[in-house]
Structure 1
Amino acid sequence: MRSALSSRDAVVATVATFVVNGVGVGTVGALMPTLADRWNTDARGLGVLLMAFGLAAIGGINIGGRMADHGGALRPLRLGTVVMAAGMLLIAASPNLAVAVAVAAVYGLGNGLVDTTMNVMAVQVEQVRPRPLMSRFHACWSIGSLLGALIVLVCGSLFSGAVTISVAAFVIAAVLIATDLPVLHRFAADTAPIDHTDESGGRTKVPRVAWILAAMAVGFGLAEGTAFDWSSVHVRDVAEVSSTTAAWGLAAFSVCMVGVRMSGDYLVHTFGRRLVVRIGAGVAATGYLVAMLGPTMPVLLLGWALVGGGMALVAPQIYGLAGMLGGGRAMSRVVTCGYATTLVGPGIMGLLVHEFGIQHAMLLPLAGAVMVSALSLVMPTEESRGTWSRTLEG
């Protein structure tokens, strides 16, 4: 018999899914410098690969949101898990960058499916539990991304050669992602479908306030996505260290993100969503400024740590509000803007890095963090539920 959304089993399944999805994204991000060495490419080549991930993710995000609203999140979540793991193995087996870009759509599609549906599940689990959980769910995702970075560091210490290191890391990550399937089968609770029709049978519109959250998602997508995919490259190029040692940049970002997210539900309850997002995005902008000016490894790691701590609570608040107030359809709009920017934005970063250098290119994610902080002044809160509901009703 399927677990109830309010059960501890449902929480366990949601936690596991956030962890393994983070492992996949963290592994890919930490491997960027190694993949550049493996395929003898530069920032433009990495940018094309990341843009391919992002474009495919857009499709997965929107498909996942619609499937979750129509028949529950569990089926598209399982599908996305399989596709994501398969995509990582295909990239691992790619003999060159051109093939990797061609098969990147598999990984991107799976990641997009998982990202939307796990957040839909997290919102509905949180709503029926006695205490807030969204920040801690995202903390588990950050733990997973940290594990992904550590996988790359361990593979770099055990093996030699970019091909062997990247293949080993991809295979380990894919196996860990696949282990979520039996967990979902045993523990997960399916979400309730959400109807988006009015009394006359017509389809209701997505409320306008959703686009405020979507714009904020673009901002944090630039700031957070750059950290995942370019922090390691940035540390390698500026501090002039090895590709595997450079993964400490992503590790510093992830450790601080985990630490802040573990206390995030308390901070939101004490200070409110708007203030937490405003201050956090401001801290992240400061971190990018430090990273831009820092010439040494310790200063660079400090900058990326500030970015991780500052951005830690932004995504949970924006995604949580979208799902709480508008269901999977509204969340898919917001996640599309955020997640696609998280992947496509770093692809654009590759072009900027090639043209202007990696230090100057960091102005783009810094501007994204500033935009989030400014938009927090008008972001909706739980009190918007009545207005949002009336909009949904026509």
Structure 2
Amino acid sequence: MTATEPSANSRARAAVAALFLTNGALFANMAPRLPELKRELGLDTASYGLLVTAWPVGAILAGLAAGALVRRFGSAQVAVFGTMATGAALLAAGSAPGVLWVVLAFAVGGAMDSITDVGQNAHGLVVQRRYGRSILNSFHALWSVGAVLGGLMAAGAIRLNLALPVHLGISMALFAVVALIALKFCLPRSAEQAAIEPVEPPAAEAIRTARPAGSRGRLLLMMSALVLISVAGVMVEDAGNSWSTLYLGELGAPAALAASGFIALVGAQFVGRILGDGMVNRFGQRSMAQLGGALIALGMGLALLFPSVPGTLLGFAAAGFGSATLVPAVMDQADKLPGLSPGTGLSIVSWLMRLGFLLSPPLVGFLAGNVGLRLALLVFPIAGLVVLICSPVLRGKKSPEDGDVQ
């Protein structure tokens, strides 16, 4: 390692952190103003639901192209382009003259957001490899900070009575500048290519790929387990986001307290991601996923078995903390799957994970309509059990001889 590498790594880490923060902030600038957009377009509830679905649909349609774009242009370049295009799509949605144009802009925004997601995670993983220890969870924590920042910007714009196009134009310009500055400090393509070379010696790699366990069937099994862990993680997050307030209301919590379920989940998840890198470095991804799965299953399982407002708040907090490191761990492992080109495993898992975001609300809604919301929220402990079953696919604790590159 040359003397300049630590400073280059630090600058690249700060740059990736800025990209994650920017990605979290962009849509969060729009989210609090969606009711305003609904009123301006004269949409009923069903039509509004279809409109906001355009975002994940666009993400799913474009998600699989992200890996090829990363290989062709570089992960940092893809992340920055996607950031700027996402901001432009949101501005187009806020300025559109009719609902069809808004749907189209949302679909494009979702597509660009999914490409950004793969690009920034891919570059974050490259930086992580150069550090030789887990740092990816801290990037995801900064995404949460960005979401809070975007929400505060939207609240300020509403208070100042800024027109939606003006507000989103400011957001687009601000975060485009941040992304372009970050690009200057990202790793060059040459460093990116060097970082994705196999870390095992050629002989060990040949032995590993020659074993029957390294067959296509094993690869498919590993991919399936990673997808199940990621979908379980996002279902926990989405179910808490979408249903926690309603469920606490059913338990008799006043409106202000009922909103605390969401805060408990995302707050604990943020804390888990801040602490996550240190815990992963010490205990390994597999142990952390097993702890997370147990927290999700036991915390929400007990909260649903013995329903009360305090117990449910603790259950949501346990689920948030338990899910904190799951998606970063899956992305790290997916990008290292043997036999796949760089970015391919990450793109596939990210794409399928977004299906979880798309399918989770109607699944819980269908179950709630037929068996009640309390039983429908059994998706929480079931998700925890899925994580426990699939956790062996994740890497264990590093041995001392693996070293630690600062």
Is 1:268 the counterpart of 2:268? The answer is no
Aligned to 1:78: 80
Is 1:127 the counterpart of 2:129? The answer is yes
Letter paired with 1:284: I
Answer whether contact 1:232 1:247 (CA < 8 A) is retained. yes
Is 1:340 the counterpart of 2:342? The answer is no
Aligned to 1:212: 225
Letter paired with 1:255: G
Aligned to 1:280: 292
Q: How does 1:314-329 map to 2 (within 5 A)?
A: 314-325=326-337, 327-329=342-344
Give the Å deviation of 1:34. 7.0
Answer whether contact 2:141 2:273 (CA < 8 A) is retained. yes
Answer whether contact 1:29 1:230 (CA < 8 A) is retained. no
Letter paired with 1:61: G
1:137 aligned residue (136, 139, 146): 139
Worse-matched range after superposition: 168-177 or 339-348: 168-177
Answer whether contact 1:146 1:254 (CA < 8 A) is retained. no
Q: TM-score, normalised by structure 1?
A: 0.75
Answer whether contact 2:284 2:397 (CA < 8 A) is retained. no
Aligned to 1:188: 186
Aligned to 2:67: 65
Give the Å deviation of 1:293. 7.6
* Secondary structure of 1:276's aligned partner: helix
Pick 1 or 2: higher relative contact order, CA cutoff 8 A, min separation 6: 1
Letter paired with 1:320: D
Give the Cα–Cα distance (whole angstroms) in 1 for the partners of residues 388 and 97 of structure 2. Answer: 43
Give the Å deviation of 1:316. 1.1
Is 1:19 the counterpart of 2:33? The answer is no
- Per the alignment, do residues 292 and 232 of structure 1 end up closer, same or farther by CA in structure 2, a change over 3 Å counting? farther
Q: How does 1:221-370 map to 2 (within 5 A)?
A: 221-228=234-241, 239=253, 241=255, 249-286=261-298, 288=300, 290=303, 301-325=313-337, 327-346=342-361, 348-349=363-364, 361-370=376-385
Q: How does 1:32-47 map to 2 (within 5 A)?
A: 41-42=44-45, 44-45=46-47, 47=49
Unaligned residue ranges in structure 1 (runs of 5+): 197-203, 385-394
Give the Å deviation of 1:117. 0.8
Is 1:107 the counterpart of 2:120? The answer is no
- Per the alignment, do residues 35 and 368 of structure 1 end up closer, same or farther by CA in structure 2, a change over 3 Å counting? farther
Unaligned residue ranges in structure 2 (runs of 5+): 199-214, 399-406
Share of identical aligned residues, percent?
23
Give the Å deviation of 1:271. 2.4
- Per the alignment, do residues 363 and 27 of structure 1 end up closer, same or farther by CA in structure 2, a change over 3 Å counting? farther
Give the Cα–Cα distance (whole angstroms) in 2 for the partners of residues 314 and 140 of structure 1. Answer: 16
Give the Å deviation of 1:75. 2.5
Q: TM-score, normalised by structure 2?
A: 0.73
Give the Cα–Cα distance (whole angstroms) in 2 for the partners of residues 108 and 52 of structure 1. Answer: 7
Number of aligned positions between the proteins: 367
Letter paired with 1:222: M
Letter paired with 1:215: L
Answer whether contact 2:77 2:183 (CA < 8 A) is retained. no
- Per the alignment, do residues 361 and 94 of structure 1 end up closer, same or farther by CA in structure 2, a change over 3 Å counting? farther
* Secondary structure of 1:324's aligned partner: coil
Give the Å deviation of 1:159. 6.4
Deviation readout 1:94-138 (Å, 9 max, x if unpaired): 577665434321111111011111110011111012542112112
Give the Å deviation of 1:334. 1.1
Larger Rg, first or second structure (1 or 2): 2
Give the Å deviation of 1:277. 0.9
Answer whether contact 1:47 1:351 (CA < 8 A) is retained. no
- Per the alignment, do residues 28 and 341 of structure 1 end up closer, same or farther by CA in structure 2, a change over 3 Å counting? farther
- Per the alignment, do residues 366 and 60 of structure 1 end up closer, same or farther by CA in structure 2, a change over 3 Å counting? farther
Give the Å deviation of 1:65. 1.4
Aligned to 2:58: 56
Is 1:381 the counterpart of 2:398? The answer is no
Worse-matched range after superposition: 48-57 or 7-16: 48-57
Give the Cα–Cα distance (whole angstroms) in 2 for the partners of residues 165 and 350 of structure 1. Answer: 34
Q: Give the alignment's Cα RMSD to 1 decimal.
A: 4.1
Answer whether contact 2:19 2:80 (CA < 8 A) is retained. no
Give the Cα–Cα distance (whole angstroms) in 2 for the partners of residues 128 and 76 of structure 1. Answer: 20
Give the Cα–Cα distance (whole angstroms) in 1 for the partners of residues 48 and 249 of structure 2. Answer: 15
Answer whether contact 2:30 2:154 (CA < 8 A) is retained. no
* Secondary structure of 1:263's aligned partner: helix
* Secondary structure of 2:393's aligned partner: coil
Deviation readout 1:174-224 (Å, 9 max, x if unpaired): 45532333223322224535799xxxxxxx979322222122222222222
